């Protein structure tokens, strides 16, 4: 079984319970439950340890069928989903998706899986387009996006610490800003010095 939730506030328990019932009804033996909790389906294999372990188990032929709650638990892009199905089927492994009641051991199941992947990718593209349009609308209205600027008094303390020869970490700790911010201030100071020379 493979289960995944996107945030730490969610739990995989409902997915495990439903898939365990399906396995019992179907006469499948659950050899292992692979889990990724608090990880987006848009993340790659290297950022999803449970997914990576599942694929390794499939490659070792320890798994005959992968059961997952839904197509979106596996991934969000069509390319990733099709690659996943191709990889597991090359090892003689099939896929069962509970929410869609798809079993890829049949030709119609394989076709439906690919169709669902198309819809999942389409939905993600729509969401991205809506977010981009919303950000453009905010920029057009003059709304400032991102983190608020550093207060001038704090910026002055960062600059003073750097001019005194303190390290980036020491300055960050003393002024309460991130090391990345101190690094940016240092780079800006260096460019200003170069411009005046």
- Mean pLDDT, rounded, for 88-110: 85
With bands split at pLDDT 50, 70 and 90, how would you rate the model's confidence at 195? low
* Percentage above 90 pLDDT, the chain: 40
The confidence score (pLDDT) of residue 2 equals: 93
Could you tell me the strand order of the sheet in which 94-97 lies?
34-37, 2-5, 65-68, 94-97, 102-103
CA pair distance 75, 56, nearest whole angstrom: 17
Candidates 6, 40, 70, 77; catalytic one: 6
| Position with higher pLDDT, 93 vs 10 | 93
Rounded to the nearest 10 degrees, how much is the dihedral formed by the CA atoms of 127, 48, 98, 92? 120
Of 3-12, 71-80, 128-137, where does mean pLDDT reach its minimum?
71-80
CA 159, 165, 171, 174 torsion-angle sign: negative
pLDDT at 100: 79
- Average pLDDT of the chain is 86
* The pLDDT of residue 196: 63
Token look-up 């019992």 returns: 24
- Average pLDDT score over residue span 78-96: 82
pLDDT of residue 70: 85
Dihedral angle over CA of 65, 67, 73, 74, nearest 10: 0
Residue 6 is a catalytic residue: yes
Which of the four pLDDT bands, split at 50, 70 and 90, describes residue 65? Answer: very high
| pLDDT classification of 183: cutoffs 50, 70, 90 | very high
pLDDT greater than 60 at residue 91? yes
What domains can be seen in the chain, in order of their start residue?
2-125 (3.40.50.1390), 152-196 (1.10.10)
């Amino acid at each position: 079984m493979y289960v995944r939730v996107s945030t730490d506030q969610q739990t995989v328990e409902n997915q495990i319970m439903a898939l365990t019932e399906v396995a019992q009804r179907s006469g499948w033996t659950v050899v292992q439950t692979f889990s990724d909790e608090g990880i987006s389906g848009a993340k790659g294999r290297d950022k999803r340890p449970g997914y990576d372990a599942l694929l390794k188990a499939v490659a070792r032929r320890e798994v005959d069928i992968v059961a997952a709650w839904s197509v979106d638990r596996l991934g969000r892009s069509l390319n990733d989903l099709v690659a996943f199905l191709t990889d597991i089927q090359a090892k003689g492994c099939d896929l069962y998706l509970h929410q869609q009641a798809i079993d890829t051991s049949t030709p119609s199941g394989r076709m439906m899986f690919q169709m669902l992947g198309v819809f999942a990718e389409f939905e993600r593209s729509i969401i991205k387009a809506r977010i981009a349009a919303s950000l453009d609308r905010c920029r057009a209205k003059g709304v400032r996006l991102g983190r608020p600027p550093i207060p001038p008094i704090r910026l002055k303390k960062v600059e003073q610490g750097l001019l005194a020869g303190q390290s980036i970490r020491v300055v960050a700790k003393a002024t309460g800003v991130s090391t990345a911010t101190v690094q940016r201030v240092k780079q800006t100071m260096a460019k200003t010095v170069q411009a005046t020379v």
